[in-house]
Amino acid sequence: MSTVLAASAHLDFSLTQKLTVIVLAALTALVSHMALAVFNDGTRPFMLEFIQGRATRAATAAVAFGLSAGFIFGLGAPMALSSGVLNPWLLFLPTDILGILAVRKWLAVVLGGAWGALVVFGLNGANDVAHKLPVDFLTAMQQMSTPILFLFTLFPVLAVAKQFGKARGAITGVVELALVIMTMKLWPNIFAGSLAMAAGVLMLIGFAVRKDLLQRRTDREAEAEATAAAGPATDGPGGGPGGDGSALAQTGAGGTDVPEEVLEDPMASLFSASAARLRKHLPLFMLLGAGVCLIAQMHIFGGGEATSFLIAKGHISEAAQVDFYRVFGFIPLIATTALASGTYGIAGLTLVYPIGYLMPNPILAAVAGAVVMALEILGLSSIGKVLGKLPSVRDSSEHLRSAITDTLQLAILFGSLLAANVMGGGLGILIVGGLYLVNEAMGRPVVRMAAAPAAVIVGGILLNVLYWLDLFTPVKG
């Protein structure tokens, strides 16, 4: 499979696609204004303070901007410009900020729609200008696709090794490598890492479920032994059914009935209130799910770094597969932060991404997105309870997220250096690598994952300036 994109990766959308993006941006700004959903997982925990009136709009918006700016300008914009496919960092992180900052609902809608218009009308012009420069850094950035696609394949291997040890990690790595080689040999027209990722994620989940089942069986056996050793329980005051202990378990201060789960877990009342708050706005969430699923179906949007390049290459089923695997890494994070804060994710549990890619037409995509988002909102409390009973599966999601970050950081850095070499040879590598190292030395004012693509853009601009000063001759490609 060729991993080099065409040089003409333009953000040139139809009128229908442009209007869809604008309306969706307006909608996401509205739900952010209402503190119902934000895209940035780091912003979500701060929303509880805002909802309960302990933080102002300006302060919350400042937090959202600080957590999101690096991803917007360092990752979202470069990825869109180099792949020709929109992404959530470019669309949804700015509407998080604009929606929270807006003092009125109508203003949030206007600001969100304006950002959507800027994206669909402005980026293509910037893209055309960049391609006409003596040093075409956007075409050079397409070099990032190969490292991102293939190194991303290894994230299940890292997750297994971190959670279950080096031996199982090595076994998973060997299985993945064999599947990549087999796919390249037997099915050259599909993405070589698709089967490998499937096997890796299934092995991780299998290890985690097996560990949880074994632990639960051990706990049951220990409980049975303890019960047998204690002898039969006695009824009466403070004892079995009908005693004072049972009454206390069901009655709170003043004789008020208290649900048993609230007494067992102080967080249960907060979780219950948050879930009820989200269910109250179910129609709005269904509209949001329909919109996100719709732009995914149009194949102008990718939910991740690897996904964007896969969609740009036309590998739609592989893109759906990749984003489906990512879901396992983010369900516990999104579900628990939503239950704790009362604020959901803009794309929910992100299932709407892969479903949207595979839908045959926009109408079915909108219906499917609405249904999926409704099921997620209605089942949020149940998801939280299930996760509480499967600690190893919950831990697996954390290891998956960490592994995804590690693999992408390496892939993006390596791809950015390849782009620097295409732009300016050794001088390009010196500038881009130097900017990345300066960012590290300064305490990472730009987040690590976004620092390298941002350095490519800055380096590309600087090389063009040097060319105009007759101090640099572009590398012949």
Is the pTM here over 0.85, yes or no? no
Specify the residue for token string 């303890």: 226
**290 touches 19 (CB < 8 A):** no
- pLDDT digit string (tens) for the chain, length 477 residues: 444 444 445 677 899 999 999 999 999 999 999 999 999 988 998 998 899 889 999 999 999 999 999 899 889 999 998 888 999 999 999 999 999 999 999 999 999 999 999 999 988 888 888 888 899 888 899 899 889 989 999 999 999 999 999 999 999 999 999 999 999 999 888 888 888 998 998 899 889 888 888 888 887 878 887 888 776 655 544 444 444 444 434 444 444 444 444 434 545 665 788 889 999 999 999 999 999 999 999 999 999 888 999 999 899 999 999 999 888 888 888 888 898 889 999 999 999 999 999 999 999 999 999 999 999 999 998 888 887 777 887 888 889 889 999 999 999 999 999 999 999 999 999 999 999 999 999 999 998 989 999 999 999 999 999 999 999 988 765
